[in-house]
Amino acid sequence: MNQDRQSTYSFPSWVDDLKPLLAAVGLGLPVVLVLLFWYGASPATTAVGYAPPQPVPYSHALHAGQLGIDCRYCHDTVEVAAHAAIPATQTCMNCHTNIRAGSAKLALVRESNVTGMPVPWVRVHDLADYVYFNHSAHVRRGVGCVECHGRVDKMEVVHQTQPLSMGWCLDCHRNPDAHLRPPELVTQMDWQPPAQMTRAAYGRQIREKYNLNPSEDCSTCHR
Amino acid sequence: MGVAAIDRRDVRDNLGDDPGRRAPLVLGKHDNATITDKVCRIVEMPKPPKAWYVAFGIALTVTGVLGAMLAYLISTGVGVWGLNKPIAWGFDITNFVFWVGIGHAGTLISAILYLFRQNWRTGINRFAEAMTIFAVICAGMFPGIHTGRAWLDYWLFPLPNQMAMWPNFRSPLLWDVFAVSTYMTVSICFWYMGMIPDLATIRDRTTSKLKGAIYGIFALGWRGSNRHWHRYERAYLLLAAIATPLVLSVHSVVSFDFATSMMPGWHATIFPPYFVAGAIFGGFAMVLVLAVPCRQWFGLKDLITPRHLENMCKILLATGMMVGYAYAIEFFISWYSGNPAEGFVFINRAFGPYAWAYWTMVFCNVATPQVFWSRRARQNPWIIFGVAICVNVGMWFERFVIIVTSLHRDFLPSSWNMYFPTWVEVTTLVGSFGLFFTLFLLFLRFLPMVAMAEVKAVLQKQHHEAR
Amino acid sequence: MPPLDPKSGGRALWRSLDDLAGDKAFQDAVGREFPLYADEMLAPSRREFLMLMGASVALAGMTACRRWPVENIVPFSHRPEGYVPGERLQFATSYDRNGAAIGLLVSSFDGRPIKIEGNPLHPMSLGATDPIAQGTLLQMYDPDRSTGLFERAGQGEGTPRTWDEFAVWAEPILARHKASGGAGLRILAEPSSSPTLLAQKKRLESVYPQAVWVEWDPLTRDAEREGARLAFGRPLRRHLDLGKADVVLALDADLFMDDPAGLSHTRAWARRRKGEDGVMNRVWAVEAGYSLTGASADHRIPVQSALVPVALGRIAARMLRSGLTLSAGCEGLREAIERFESHAFDDPRLDTIAADLLAARGRGAIAVGPRQPAAAHALAMALDAALGNSGNAVTYADDPEPARPGHLEAIAKLASDLSAGLVETLVILGGNPAFDAPADLDLAKRIGSVSQTIRVGLYDDETSSLCRWQLPEAHYLEAWGDARGWDGTAGVVQPLIEPLYGGRSAIEIAAYLAAGAWTPGYELVRTTWSTRLPAAGFEKAWRRVVHDGIEAGAAPALTPVFAAGWGGEVARLAEARQLGGDAMELLFAKSSAVHDGRFANCGWLVELPDPMTKLTWDNAALLSPSDAEALGVKAIGDLVTMSLPGGSLVLPAFILPGQAKGSVTVNLGWGRSRAGRVGNGAGVDAYPLRTAASLWRAEAKLARTPGSAMLATTQDHWVVDTLGRKEEQVRAEELIRTGTLAEYRAKPEFAREMVEVPHAAPISTYPIEYNGHKWGMAIDLSSCIGCAACSIACQAENNIPVVGRKETWRGRDMQWIRVDRYFEGDPESPGLAFQPMTCHQCENAPCEQVCPVAATVHDHEGLNVMVYNRCVGTRYCSNNCPYKVRRFNYFNNHKHETAVSMMVYNPEVTVRMRGVMEKCSYCVQRINAVKIPAKNAGRPISDGEVVPACAQVCPAEAIAFGDLNDPHSRVRALHDDARCYGVLEEINTRPRTRYLARLRNPAEGKA
């Protein structure tokens, strides 16, 4: 073939210098992929930290934390039903008819108490609608509130602390030990196992005692 | 002098089977330069012939229609097709298997015939491979769009995800994903590998800077040096070795979609070989459908000679009878197995509501190729073309018959039903042809449709032997 | 059932929604009303969200911000005592249909009634219901219901009004009628068994002595009443106890699904079909159309309806000859009966029937259908008495309203009054007389001629369009009331929800007409019951009744004495002649779907396949194969014209094997013009052919008309060629394994040996042990009557969509449990077998292996679970399912739901989006609803605690469900029963649902 022809294209010499670049890309690609999936699992996408403003500036830090009101005083159906009911206005008024009865912050609550229209709380922990989570099934087995909801007793405004993703659920269902505690202490936010004992070790005892074997069946959560 | 003499003699035909001499595979007065000219002219002509524009226009329009159909399908739901229970697969999977089948000949020709040193492959392997790739593209589309929630298809790939879920590796559909994508990848590599020297040739001939640059980049700086040739040959051999098992594996895996199921009419161990034979059958038919007109229009009669066509006709005849054997053995087994459900499916195929489809299939795939027993038929382009078309129709119906007639009357008579494709399905099928020909026409326009380098190699041998 | 505080249960939970009809506003309201299920209700956004979710799970990371819409939780302001949000509550109530009630339990989620079940305490229900009773739930949520008051001047849609405006209009008129003693006042009502309404009726009669209360029922059962009047000189109610009957002769009578006591009949009959200790009852059916009773009968003789009395007469004659003596008062019948001997019609099997009945003296029953003349009923009563069946299987009780004139007589009188101009004010309480009254009375036109017409109805229908006022009626699930079962058992009707459209009940309206002022229904009902219940401790007794739904105690049985001198009537029966040539008898029948037409807009029912024809969305002229051939009807859907003196009708034909030669059946209630978006134009209206003279049977000429209609069946789509038919016969025998009692006695395990099952043990590399629960189902084909109540129960429980005629025609019907129907034998007089078919939960499931994304997998209790949110919709599983019980959402099937109709969804079950496969889950939500509380309480689950919707509703107790690992469970016992076999076991699917072979008890051991 006539290489001398003017139009003949040949790679310029600097192309050779690109070889290391090629190598870099080859090596870098896996790293990029890893980063991608890491980002996919990061709070930015799993709604961790989601803290919507509530219509009433209710402080869990104050009520559950400082005043030490038990979770179940308000969320009273948590042990018997799938849903941990949001308290009725009535429940607030039990105390607030006397305490801070005139507080401006409570205006909406008082109004609701009179009109009978509910307070439109904003949902924080929101699972997909095809997921059927049952509070009683977990609380009665010694899974503490804190495991999923975090230190609510320290939250001025409630926010999501866990990804609540399917993988996250499965992690616990596969090895629950580190998340178990005596069922009667589920609402104790700062509970620790007895000294010189790891949570896993203690949780193991609980699991064996109550014969807990968390299911990984699809039908457990999806119907 | 002598050379000329040989040439003159060979101009007439290369069909003689003189045991003494290997029949020449290039006709006419040809040396390397003329071959290069012949092939490159097609790519280099400033404006393609009107016919090309017309054909491309039509193909592109039909492709557009395909796009519209897909949009309609995905925005509305699979219900726009005529599927129902029990017939949950119809045209979609039929077309998939049909196109995958077409996609077989290419790699077979390039890989297996290469390993078997069948030199006559050189005339046709390039566009056969192109055909393969375009056919596999069409094929790959259908499993993708046949799902109810196509936007979730990526769940079929083993990607890490927040659900901590992997796909189900027991499912033949998943095997398809791997088989077809592997086949696709290897075919493309193979095709491209083979093209590098020819791309370099075009690069060297072209006068336009742009073309030069584009072809140049794809030629990867080929200089035709000894070392280049040496490595090229090695790589080509290796790829051929890799591709060969794939030829068998892909369609075997596709056949598993049916063979591993419970359905009478699907649940058969003969399927893998039966499907592979069928695929080669259909693939060669499609090669012929493309080759016959191409060699006419682009004046490639010297490179794609009557002998090439004749050889392919022989393959058609052979594979056609293999397929026919499969049809027969299916019936035998359905009776021999003593499985009543199985037995009924086949009786129902031949004499039930879809008998017309079954007999169309048998006629096209078994009866028509028999004309190739006659030498004259093997050498008459018109007959060849006609039979090839027939075979393609037949092979499409084979898949239709396997899928629909098996499903429409399965175990419980209470759920028996009929399947009537909607206009959307028909249009989608036509559209897939549009896509195929669009790509193929682009290939004809911009890439060397005959493997010049390899033909030249054959030519050298031919001249050498002639002396 | 928690005791219901009428205040909270009836009111406090509820705000009226009628002012919130507007969609957006309504949805907000819903959001506020049903806190935790706001998302369930707002399904459209929810489905988009599902899609979004699906698409974004693994793509997580591409989108930074929160992916789904902000959602509010709206708790009660004051939560009622002991109320747990999001938990299922059940309330007892009763449903009155054509003047006979069945007891119900209605499940309610956060105040939304979502499921209707039978009340186990109610003798007319025994825990079961029929399809129609369940359909009433969807009827209540029907967005096409009358949404308010309308006043019409002449034609047109009328102007919206308020109740006050109505009162302003009505008061002077009522006052005038009071003055005139109500001379010009007529009240046209549908039959009702409500004691309270009866009380209001009495009040009205006292206030307006001249006024007339007319009662009309298009499906009237007066024939039997008149028969009793003939035989005993006074109207009586006849009750059957099939539990006491060894031999039952059903003459043109469907004792199961076309009978006010059908559910109890079914239960009693089914309990005697098990063949245990080698005894079974035997049913003879002599009928024209194929009824469910005929299908379950051991012998069925297809006979033109007109000849059924002749058949009875001949049987009677045989029995007399073989020495039966008629009881006192009936001697006069003898020579009347002997006249049948000379009748042209005869059938050798009639002798066998006679012999069979004689052999079972005192242990038999003769039932005659409502289509037959009074004299036939009377004759049957006489024979029952002679055979000593009266007092055993057959009993009599007083008619609750002996003074009531016959329905036909009453409406005819009204028609004549109307044309005579005697009527100033016509009040129409319910019903739809303009649509369903006998055509020759021309009621539609005559109603239009009255100036002051008040219509109280659920729908703004054909009748409303002719009336000046359309008042929205409160659905029985929305209002207080009471009702009596056919046997007289009284129960309370309590509301589950505030009237969606501000309707008021017939009781309240009637009371208003009488008093001129509104009294809440609750007060009215309480007042009535204060007289029924002991004054001492009334409150306690009342609460008990409301809680249980019934006040125990049926009407007392009595032994009537025969009147004399009605032989002539019977003798006249012998004059019936057999029709032939081109003249055929046209039979009008109740539709198993739309009843008398009132359910024409209920999607569930309209799409429920007819048990016999498997026809949906249409009615048709049912022809016997030979008649079809004679007429040149080749395929179903071919059009035929029926010509009667009164007019003619073109409608599609359906070839029904077993239809009596020379008789054609047409279902009533179809072809509505003002039913709503579902019912309009579905089917053909046969009422125009129905005259007072020929209420049930007319003589018609049929002719083939060019053209044919698209009929959507769920089985036998298209004409199945002879090849297929033959194969169908062969397979049906293996699918529905049938044996006679004799065969069963000789070899109890005959069914198991009909098909060889090669695989002894499961072949698996990874054998799975089911150590915990092992759920299984057993379906007894011997007692299944094919009523398809299970299909509707499942549809309601699992949010199964209605797909419409075209989709059904395509073969995309969605019911998770279908009832397969196979004919056997001679097409002119075939046998019929039913087989409920749903997911078999195969332990070795073909569907699971082929799903590429593992969307259908096995769980550790052996459930074959379908994970909708994982499904990508390759439909491979459906292809590979040998039972074809998987259902695919080819489109977004919930697209057409409105905010109201979506309230019927069961929040415990995901609403499936487009492109997703779905199927029976053994009601996994019900399993979990029992399992979790049980585990919380640390107690084991006892047998019968977990009941899937289909098993719960079955009137025949044919479906058993439970834990196969529990050695004492009923399902375990049934799986070990000799009759038990698995369908397609031979392909090693190892189904968890197994069937019990069908037993028949033909006379002389042969069918």
Per-residue pLDDT tens for C849-903? 999 999 999 999 989 999 999 999 999 999 999 999 999 999 998 888 888 888 8
Q: Which residue of B has its CA nearest to A7?
A: B207
Of the partner residues A9, A166, A168, the one whose CB lies closest to the CB of residue B212: A9
Question: Which residues from A are below 8 Å from C933, CB to CB?
Answer: 80, 136
Half-sphere exposure of A131 (CA within 13 A, CB side): 14
* Chain C environment of B85 (Cβ under 8 Å): 811-812, 878, 884, 886-888
The residues pairing with C960 across neighbouring beta strands, listed in sequence order, are C778
The β-bridge partners of B404 are none
Using a CB-CB distance cutoff of 8 angstroms, which residues of chain B are in contact with residue C870? 155, 163, 165
Using a CB-CB cut-off of 8 Å, the residues of chain A touching B196 are none
CB atoms A9 and B163 under 8 Å: no
Which residues of chain C neighbour A42 with C-beta distances below 8 Å?
61
User: Is pLDDT at B298 greater than 70 in this prediction?
Assistant: yes
Instruction: Compare CB distances from C872 to B147, B170, B411 and report the shortest one's residue.
Output: B147
Q: Do A80 and C84 touch (CB under 8 A)?
A: yes
Q: What is the pLDDT of residue C67?
A: 56
- Return the pLDDT at B466: 63
Chain A residue with CA closest to B197: the answer is: A1
Contact A40 C869 (CB under 8 A): no
Identify the residue among A4, A6, A7 best suited for mutation to test binding to B, counting B beta carbons within 10 A and taking the highest. A7
Does A116 contact C78 at a Cβ distance shorter than 8 Å?
A: yes
Task: Supply the pLDDT for residue C269.
Answer: 93
- Measured between CA atoms, the residue of chain A closest to residue B212 is A9
Comparing CB atoms, the residue among A39, A88, A123 nearest residue C76 is A88
Instruction: Please report the residues numbered 827 through 866 in chain C whose beta carbons come closer than 8 angstroms to any beta carbon of chain B.
Output: 835, 837, 846, 849-854
Q: Nearest-CA distance from B149 to chain C in Å?
A: 5
Q: How confident is residue B206, by pLDDT bands cut at 50, 70 and 90?
A: confident
Chain B residue numbers with beta carbons less than 8 Å from the beta carbon of C851 are 168, 171
Distance separating alpha carbons of residues C736 and C823, to the nearest angstrom: 11
Cis, peptide link before residue B448, omega less than 30° from 0: no
- Strands C663-667 and C583-589 come out as parallel
User: Per residue in A63-83, pLDDT tens?
Assistant: 999 998 999 999 989 999 998
Tokens of C466: 């002719």
Q: Considering only residues 107 to 166 of chain A, which have any Cβ-Cβ distance to chain B shorter than 8 Å?
A: 163, 165-166
* Helices and strands, number each (H, E), in chain C: 31, 41
Q: Which residues in A lie closer than 8 A to residue B203 (C-beta atoms)?
A: 8-9
pLDDT for res C82: 80
Q: Do B261 and C718 touch (CB under 8 A)?
A: no
Chain A hits for C868, Cβ within 8 Å: 130, 222
pLDDT score of B309: 87
Residues of chain C with pLDDT under 50: 1-65, 1006-1007
Rounded alpha-carbon distances, angstroms, from residue C209 to A190, C185, C199, C427: 80, 10, 15, 16
Token representation of residue C586:
């046209």
Tell me the nearest-neighbour CA distance from C47 into chain A, angstroms: 9
d(CA C573, CA C576): 6
Nearest Cβ partner of A166 from B163, B204, B212?
B163
- Under the banding of pLDDT at 50, 70 and 90, the label for residue B395 is very high
Q: Which residue of A has its CA nearest to B207?
A: A7
Structure tokens at C492: 């309370």
Looking at this predicted complex, what is its ipTM?
0.90
List, in sequence order, every beta strand (DSSP E) within C838-924. 856-858, 864-866, 887-888, 917-918
| Closest CA of chain A from C66, distance in Å | 6
DSSP chain A: --TT-TT-----GGGGGGHHHHHHHHHHHHHHHHHHHHHHTSHHHHTTT--PPPSS---HIIIIIIS---HHHHSTTTTTSSS-PPPPHHHHHHHHTTTTTT-GGGHHHHHHHHH-PPP-EEP-S---TT----HHHHHTTTB-HHHHH--GGG-SS----S---HHHHHHHHHS-GGGB--GGGTT-TT--PPTT--HHHHHHHHHHHHT------GGGT--
Determine, for residues B159 and C58 on separate chains, whether the beta-carbon distance falls below 8 Å.
yes
A residues 11-50 lying closer than 8 A (beta carbon) to B = 11, 37, 40-41, 46
What chains are in contact with B, requiring at least 3 Cβ pairs below 8 Å?
A, C
Smallest Cβ–Cβ distance between A167 and the set B162, B203, B204 belongs to B162
Q: Are B361 and B403 in contact (CB under 8 A)?
A: no
Contacts of B97 in chain C (CB under 8 A): none
Distance CA C645, CA C666 (A): 17
User: How far is the C-alpha of C570 from the C-alpha of C338, rounded, in Å?
Assistant: 11
Nearest-by-Cβ selection for C865 from A89, A129, A217: A217
Chain B residues with CB under 8 Å of A167 CB are: 161-164
How does strand C481-484 pair with strand C490-493?
Answer: antiparallel
Prediction pTM value: 0.89
Whether C84 and A219 lie within 8 Å, measured CB to CB:
no
Nearest to C890 among B78, B161, B412 (CB): B78
The shortest CB-CB distance from B224 to any of A1, A41, A46 is to A1
Whether residue A3 is predicted with pLDDT greater than 70 in this model: the reply is: no
Partner-chain contact B207 A40, CB within 8 Å: no
Of B164, B206, B221, the CB nearest to A170: B164
DSSP C248-313: EEEES--TTTSSTTHHHHHHHHHTT-S-GGG---EEEEEESS--HHHHH-SEEEE--GGGHHHHHH
Q: Please indicate whether, in this complex, the C-beta atoms of C879 and B148 are within 8 angstroms of each other.
A: no
CA-based nearest distance C75→chain A, Å: 5
CA distance C952 to chain B (A): 25
More confident residue, B342 or C766: B342
Name the minimum distance, in Å, from the CA of B271 to any CA of chain C: 17
Closest-CA distance of chain A to residue B200, Å = 9
Residue A167 touches partner B, C-beta closer than 8 Å = yes
